[in-house]
Amino acid sequence: MEIKGSYLLPCTPQRAWEALNDPELLKSCLKGCERLEKTADDRFEGTVQARVGPVSARFNGSLTQTDVEAPHRCTMVFEGQGGVAGFAKGSADVTLDEAEGGTRLSYDADAKIGGKLAQMGARLVEGTARSMAEDFFGAFSAALAAERADTNAAASPAPEAATPANAPEVVPASSAAEAKSGPGRAWLVGLAVLAVVLIILWLA
C-alpha cells in the first residue's frame, strides 16, 4: 500500500527538521502515543495506543532514518508490532522544501500490513491512514504555529493552521502492484514520517 501526502508547515525547513527530530514535540502531536524515544542518532522507538472506533491496539514500533540530508530529506524504515492485531512494516521518503508561507513537507510511504488489521479492516485502511495523518499534521502544524505566534508576538497575522496541500493519497492494496513506487526516489527525512508510520502501523 502506498500512502502519499503533503502539508504546508508554518516555519522554515530547518525548524521543521528540528521539530521532526524532537521526540517530545512529536509525542504530543501523536494521539495515543505513550512513549517515544530517540534510541540512537538515527533511530526512534515508541509505543502507540491506537484507537479507531471500537478497535484498540497497542503498537510497538521502531523507525530508522537512512539517506539523511538534513534539513531536506531522509528515508525512514519502520516496523511495528501490534500483537494479535498484526504488524506493519515499510519505508517512507520524506522531503522538506521551502515554499511560499513556510515549508512543504511531503511524504511517500510504502507499507505492508499483515495480520487481523489487513484481514478484517480492508475497507478502513485508507481512511484510517488518512485521518491519522491529518490529525498528526494538524497538531504538528498547530504546535509550530503556536511557537511562531509566541516568538513573533504582534507580528504577522496568525499563520494559517496546517494546510493539507494535498489530501493524503493512498493507493489501496488491491492496486498496489501497478502503483508500487520505484526504489529510485530515495530521499529523505524527518520524523514526520514517524507519524505516518505509526499511522500506518495502525490502521483499521
Partner 1 sequence: MYDFTYRRPADLAEARAILAGDEGAQPLSGGQTLIPVLRARLAMPAVLVDLTALDELKGIAAEGGRILIPAATTHAEVAASGTVREHCRALAALAGGIGDPQVRHRGTIGGSVANNDPAACYPSACLALDAEIRTDRRRIAAPDFFSGMFQTVLEPGEIVTAVSFPACRGAHYEKFPNPASRFALIAVFAARLAGETRLAVTGGGTGVFRWHEGERAADGNGDLSEAALDEGRFTGDLHASVEYRMHLTRVMAQRALAKIH
Partner 2 sequence: MNLTASRVKFGQSVKRQEDGRFLRGKGRYVDDMILPGQLYAAFVRSPMAHARITGIDADHAASMPGVERVLTARDLVAAGLPPLPCGWAITSRDGTPMKVGVRHALALDKVRYVGEPVALVVARTQAQAKDAAEAVIVDYDDLPAMVDVLDAMAEGAGLIHDEIDANCAFDWEIGDAAATEAAFAGAAHRIALTLRNNRLVPNAIEPRAINAGWDGSSEELTVYMTHQNPIGMRMFYAAAFGLAAEHKLRMVSPDVGGGFGSKAHNYPEEVAVTFAAKLVDGPVKWTADRSEAFLTDAHGRDHLTDVELALDGQGRFLALRVDTRANVGAYLSSSGSLVPTYMYATMLSGQYAIPAIHARVRAIYSSTCPVDAYRGAGRPEAAYVIERIVDVAARELGINPAEIRRRNFIREFPYQTPVVYQYDSGDYEKSLDAALELAHYAGFAGRRAESERHGKLRGIGLAAYVEACGIGPSAKLAKLGSGAGMWESAEVRVHPIGTVEVLTGAHSHGQGHATTFAQVVSDRFGIPIENVSVIQGDTARVQAGTGTYGSRASVGMSATLRACDRIIDKGKRIAAHLMGVDYDAVEFDDGLFSSKDSNVTIAFAEMAYAAHAAASFPTDEIEPGLVATSFFDPPEFTYPAGVYVCEVEIDPDTGTVEVASFCAADDFGNVANPMIVEGQVHGGVTQGIGQALWENALYDADTGQLMSASFMDYGMPRAQGVPDYKLVFSGVPSPSNPLGMKGCGEAGAIGAPPAIINAVCNALDVRHVDMPATPEKIWRLCRQGKAG
Q: At 29, is the secondary structure helix, strand, or coil?
A: helix
Q: Of 45, 142, 173, 181, which one interacts with partner 2 (CB under 8 A)?
A: 173
Put the strands of the sheet holding 87-99 in their side by side order. 33-40, 43-52, 55-69, 73-81, 87-99, 102-114, 2-9, 163-171
Which residue, 91 or 95, is less far from partner 2 as judged by CB?
91
* Burial status of residue 109 (CB atoms within 10 A of its CB: 0-12, 13-18, 19 or more): buried
Task: Rule CB under 8 A: say whether 49 interacts with partner 2.
Answer: no
Give the x/- contact pattern for partner 2 in 119-158, rule: CB under 8 A: xx-xx-----------------------------------
Question: Which of partner 2, partner 1, none does 131 bind, CB closer than 5 to 8 A by kind?
Answer: partner 1
Give the x/- contact pattern for partner 1 in 93-132, rule: CB under 8 A: -----------------------x---x-xxxxxxx-xx-
In the numeric block, which cell numbers belong to residue 82?
501490534
Site residues for partner 1, 13-52, by CB under 8 A, read: 52
From 195, 202, 179, select the one nearest 76 (Cα to Cα): 195
In the numeric block, which cell numbers belong to residue 204?
483499521
The binding site for partner 1 (CB under 8 A) comprises 52-57, 84-85, 116, 120, 122-128, 130-131, 164, 167, 170, 172-175
